[in-house]
Amino acid sequence: MKKILVTGAGGFIGGHLVKELINRGYQVRATDIKPFDEWYQCFDKVENLELDMAIKENCYKATEGMGDVINMACNMGGMGFIENNKALCMLSVLVNTHMLMACKEHKIKRYFFSSSACAYNTDLQKDPKITGLKESDAYPAMPEDGYGWEKLFGERMCRHFFEDYGLDVKVARYHNIYGPNGTYDGGREKAPAALCRKVISSILNNEEKIDVWGDGNQTRSFLYIDDCVEATLKLFDSKHHGPINIGSEEQVSINEMIEKIEKISNKNVKKNYQLDKPKGVMGRNSDNTLIRSQLKWEPKFTLYQGLKKTYEWIFSEMKKKHNQ
């Protein structure tokens, strides 16, 4: 049985990955800094450890006896979080640094690093009608301040551990992953979950208006979690090493996404545009040419299909709290 460590396993993507790895017959060790009762998903068949992976000794402890490592641990969230917590996001370099050192020491076979589309040059993302970002567009470097720099630096470290020590590294640049069993309130949530929550709240509280950060014209592409997990493990099992986009090419504005949620919820809302709130770059979309050619992968879920599943899960969670 293959032994694999998943760090950040109490988080959104990490929890879904652990579930799929169990289904594929892996023996999983899972770590997260959060207490167990705050993990989004926790599984009995897994060795679950509450560890801060920024601490070097914890990385050495967690990797001992493992064959592979999927590193999802970092401080992250939606635009509201990363724009207001740049120093905290930068400190995640300690996680990747210590994990790479531990992998070299324990002769780990494969190492996965979760990067982000925030690593891309922001000068290329000023137009809402942006074409897809290719992997080469990260340079010349001008990523999102804080979080984006941490991810780009982490990518370079992975590259050099591959070149200098032969560690089989995989690097994915995620483009706005969303879905059930994730954050939908509290400040770290991303746009799909936040907007679903706001529309649901307007229904439960009989309100007509929701707050929208920015003017709603900023564009993004969003990838459903099941597609993300499939692409991640496809990359992990491949021979590809350089950074690769894992995202959707279905680009929408925030206003267009609200329209989809209105259709799903059967509720039309008035928008209170908050122009002083963080809104990030004006346009961002994934170019999937490389992953299409290298891994023969395409997303299966449209944004509407994924939003419907996400909306239904968030609605059930909020309805429980509303009725308490």
Residue numbers annotated as active site: 147
Of 91, 92, 286, 74, which is closest to residue 188 (Cα–Cα)?
74
Query: d(Cα 309, Cα 312) in Å, to the nearest integer?
Result: 5
Return the structure tokens found at 190.
Answer: 């991303």
Query: d(Cα 178, Cα 190) in Å, to the nearest integer?
Result: 8
Partners of residue 65 on adjacent β-strands = none
Cβ-in-10-Å burial (0-12, 13-18, 19+) of 293 comes to: exposed
Query: How far from each other are the two terminal CA atoms of the chain, in whole angstroms?
Result: 44
Backbone angles phi, psi at 21, to 5 degrees: -65, -40
Return the structure tokens found at 157.
Answer: 């470290």
